[in-house]
């Protein structure tokens, strides 16, 4: 069995994290926009994903979405909308 390089995920939480939190999510691109923080990057496996989600939960952040992006979209992830607007 060979080791996979991982998949690209986009994780969106409510609240704008400052750059000092970037170290907690090493290897992930972090951007803030309109009260949200968007983390985008390669997730090696499920334990890696759950580790990031646990870290976000430990910071008391509200998780809004977790999306596995199609292959080849890592460079475009920051330019796409983080989520669709609902119910307002």
Convert the pLDDT of each residue in 19-35 to its tens digit: 899 888 988 999 999 99
* DSSP letter string, 17-76: --GGGGGGGTTSEEEEETTEEEEEEEE-SHHHHHHHHHHHHHTTPEEEEEEEPPTT-GGG
Report d(CA 31, CA 73) in Å as an integer: 16
Q: What confidence tens digit (pLDDT) does each residue in 31-72 have?
A: 999 999 999 999 999 999 999 999 999 999 999 999 999 987
For residue 78, pLDDT beyond 90: no
Q: Please, which pLDDT band fits residue 86 given cuts at 50, 70 and 90? A: very low
Of the listed ranges 10-14, 74-78, 81-85, the one predicted with least confidence:
81-85
- Report domain extents, the chain: 15-70
């Amino acid at each position: 069995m060979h080791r996979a390089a991982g998949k690209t995920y986009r994780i969106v939480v409510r609240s704008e994290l400052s750059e000092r939190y970037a170290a907690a999510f090493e290897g992930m691109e972090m951007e803030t926009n309109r009260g949200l923080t968007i983390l985008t990057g390669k997730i090696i496996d499920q334990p890696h994903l759950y580790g990031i989600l646990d870290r976000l939960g430990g910071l008391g952040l509200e998780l809004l979405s977790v999306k596995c992006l199609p292959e080849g979209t890592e460079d475009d992830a920051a330019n796409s909308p983080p989520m669709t607007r609902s119910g307002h």
